[in-house]
């Protein structure tokens, strides 16, 4: 158990809908990363937050957005869902953002299925 929690574990929805995925980082971790894992694209970085502020963006679609709240939990919002958005979504957390290279600990993921 990495200490990172993600809810829900599974999500099934229809095209065009909007969903919210939630992540709670390890106690004391200030940085949260979101990654998408799909069969054709592998594990890809989406976005990073540090202590409530966006710090880096990867291959995140405009239909997707995220935020980190004062209690440091993070939410990833996916809207106008398409079949191709079906994937595993992972959250990872680390302690710092600016000092050295921090170990990222991954949560168990949310499996999103878009029908």
Partner 1 sequence: GENVEQHPSTLSVQEGDSAVIKCTYSDSASNYFPWYKQELGKGPQLIIDIRSNVGEKKDQRIAVTLNKTAKHFSLHITETQPEDSAVYFCAATEGAGRRALTFGSGTRLQVQP
Site string for partner 1, 59-88 (x = CB under 8 A): ------------------------------
Decide if residue 24 touches partner 1 (CB under 8 A).
Answer: no
Q: Is the dihedral of CA 73, 98, 57, 91 positive or negative?
A: negative
Decide if residue 113 touches partner 1 (CB under 8 A).
Answer: no
Q: Which stretch binds partner 1 (CB under 8 A): 11-19, 29-37, 65-73, 76-84?
A: 29-37
Specify the pairing of strand 110-114 against strand 10-13. parallel
Q: Which residues make beta-bridge pairs with 111?
A: 10, 88
Provide the minimum distance between the beta carbon of 22 and partner 1 in the complex, in angstroms, as a whole number.
15
Residue 55 burial class via C-beta count within 10 angstroms: exposed 0-12, middle 13-18, buried 19 and up: middle
Among 27, 28, 62, 103, indicate the residue that binds partner 1 (CB under 8 A). 103
Residue 81 burial class via C-beta count within 10 angstroms: exposed 0-12, middle 13-18, buried 19 and up: buried
Q: Which residues make beta-bridge pairs with 12?
A: 113
Decide if residue 49 touches partner 1 (CB under 8 A).
Answer: no
Note the residues at the interface with partner 1 (CB under 8 A). Answer: 2, 4, 31, 33, 35, 42-45, 48, 55-56, 58, 90, 94, 97, 101-109
């Amino acid at each position: 158990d990495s200490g990172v929690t993600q809810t829900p574990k599974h999500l099934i929805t229809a095209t065009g809908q909007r969903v919210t995925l939630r992540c709670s980082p390890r106690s004391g971790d200030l940085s949260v990363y979101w990654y998408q894992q799909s069969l054709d694209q592998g594990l890809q970085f989406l976005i990073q937050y540090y202590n409530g502020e966006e710090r880096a963006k990867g291959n995140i679609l405009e239909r997707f957005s995220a935020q980190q709240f004062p209690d440091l939990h993070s939410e990833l919002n996916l809207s106008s869902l398409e079949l191709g958005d079906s994937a595993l979504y992972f959250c990872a957390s680390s302690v710092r953002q600016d000092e050295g290279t921090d170990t990222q600990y991954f949560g168990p993921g949310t499996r999103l299925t878009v029908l």
